[in-house]
Amino acid sequence: MDIRIFEDNQELDQAAARLIADLAKAKPDAVLGLATGSTPVGIYRSLIETAAAERVSFKRITTYNLDEYVGLTPDNEQSYAYYMNQHLFSKIDIPLNQTFLPDGMADDLDAFCAKYDRMLESARVDLQLLGLGHNGHIGFNEPDRELTAGTHVVTLDEATREANARFFASLDEVPKQAVTMGVGSILKAARILLVVRGADKAEVVKRALSGPVTTDCPASLLQLHADVTVLLDKEAASLLA
Ligand code: F6R
């Protein structure tokens, strides 16, 4: 694993944006796996600035998001589809029909999950951006005795709902289920970019990067991947040896 530690959060954002922009330059039809949450907000902001300054085009780029809540329409401000449009897609030149997210409104969610996996399989993600949950989740793959390889419907841990309640009017409004890429789908990406910040994530960073590989900490499975870059702020890195 290539672990890089940053003193300054803006530098961290710029480093992540640089990796994505360089890929888009080197491979104009690259396939990106994208994440939502707090962590990527600054990365997307920096990527938009870099794309404008260096004329990086996303016209031939395709994107696949990790996850989406069940039951939220794309025009719901809390949906990840809304988030992606707001924070990235509307501010770069990517055609929206080349951006894909799990459909949490699908009538047949299982059929949708199988279809999303077929799409991922033929697209082949070049770079997957990941954040890290306090409980070690990646995407919405929550700690469990067993993990699911492919895209699937997941019941969110109460801790995850509580952590995400900050984006909703109340905890009651946080959906109980989500559709997420599975760990197998995530690990198929050619390269993985894990970004984590904050002292509150120091413990889970240590477990994910230097603890045993275990389904109790889904992010620890990243240790099995050959090409993982980890960008940490110094607080998140504070418990690493
Ligand atoms: C988001 C996702 C989640 C988040 C994680 C960290 O698409 O898949 O795994 O990356 O919950 O969230 P933040 O960045 O809000 O701390």
Report the b/e string of 156-187 with b at 16+ CB within 10 A: bbeebbebbeeeeeeeeebbeebbbbbbbbbb
Annotated catalytic residue 67: yes
**Helix segments in the chain, DSSP class H:** 9-26, 39-54, 80-87, 109-123, 158-164, 183-187, 202-210
Residue 241 placed within a domain: no
pTM beyond 0.80, yes or no: yes
How many angstroms separate the alpha carbon of residue 118 from the centre of ligand 1? 24
Q: Would the pLDDT of 241 be above 90? A: no
* Residue of the CA atom closest to atom 11 of ligand 1: 133
Q: Provide the 3-class DSSP secondary structure of residue 30.
A: coil
Q: Is the pLDDT of residue 194 over 90?
A: yes
Within a domain: 69: yes
Closest atom, ligand 1, to C-alpha of 80 = 7
Which atom from ligand 1 is nearest to the alpha carbon of 164?
Answer: 15
Please, which residues have CB within 8 angstroms of residue 181's CB and are 6 or more apart in sequence?
33, 64, 66, 67, 102, 116, 120, 139, 150, 151
80 located within any domain: yes
Q: Is 135 an active-site residue?
A: yes
**Binding site membership of 214 for ligand 1 (Cβ less than 6 Å):** no
Binding site membership of 155 for ligand 1 (Cβ less than 6 Å): no
**Which range marks the domain in which residue 207 is found?**
2-233
pLDDT at 161: 95
**Per-residue model confidence as pLDDT tens digits over 54-87:** 999 999 999 999 999 999 999 999 999 999 999 9
Average pLDDT, stretch 218-241? 97
The atom number, within ligand 1, closest to the CA of 131 reads: 10
Whose structure tokens read 């702020």? 233
What mean pLDDT is predicted for residues 188-205? 98
Q: Best mutation site among 80, 138, 162 for ligand 1, i.e. most ligand atoms within 8 A of its Cβ?
A: 138
Q: Tell me the pLDDT tens digit for each residue of 11-22.
A: 999 999 999 999
Measured distance CA(136)–CA(82) in Å, rounded: 25
- Angstrom CA distances, 47 to 52, 58, 189, stand at 8, 11, 20
**Best residue among 34, 39, 194 to mutate for probing ligand 1, ranked by most atoms within 8 Å of CB:** 39
Residue 225 confidence (pLDDT) = 98
Q: What is the mean pLDDT of the segment spanning 117-126?
A: 97
Q: Span 105-130, mean pLDDT?
A: 97
Q: Does residue 35 carry a pLDDT above 90?
A: yes
Residue 123 lies in a domain: yes
Q: What is the pLDDT of residues 145-182, one digit of tens each?
A: 999 999 999 999 999 999 999 989 999 999 999 999 99
Query: C-alpha distances in angstroms, 88 versus 54, 99, 176, 231?
Result: 16, 11, 26, 20
Residue 65 three-state SS: strand
Summarize the confidence of residues 204-214 as an average pLDDT.
97
Residue 10, in any domain of the structure: yes
C-beta contacts of 139-144 below 8 A and 24+ residues apart: 139/35, 139/66, 139/67, 139/180, 139/181, 139/182, 139/183, 139/186, 140/66, 140/67, 140/178, 140/180, 141/180, 141/182, 141/183, 141/186, 141/218, 142/218, 143/215, 143/216, 143/217, 143/218, 144/215
Residue 139 alpha carbon to ligand 1 centre in Å: 7
Question: Does 49 fall in a domain?
Answer: yes
pLDDT of residue 72: 96
- Mean pLDDT value of segment 125-142: 97
Q: Is 65 a catalytic residue?
A: no
Looking up residue 64, the CATH number of its domain turns out to be 3.40.50.1360
Is the pLDDT at 209 greater than 90, yes or no? yes
Domain count, the chain: 1
Per-residue pLDDT at 6 exceeds 90: yes
Q: Please, what is the average pLDDT of the chain?
A: 97
| CB of 42 closer than 6 angstroms to any ligand 1 atom | no
- pLDDT of residue 124 exceeding 90, the answer is yes
Q: Judge whether 239 lies within some domain.
A: no
Q: Please confirm, yes or no, whether 141 is among the known catalytic residues.
A: no
For residue 230, name the pLDDT band (cuts at 50, 70, 90). Answer: very high
Determine which of 163-167, 189-193, 207-211, 229-233 has the lowest per-residue pLDDT on average.
163-167
- Is 238 among the domain residues? no
pLDDT, mean of residues 117-139: 97
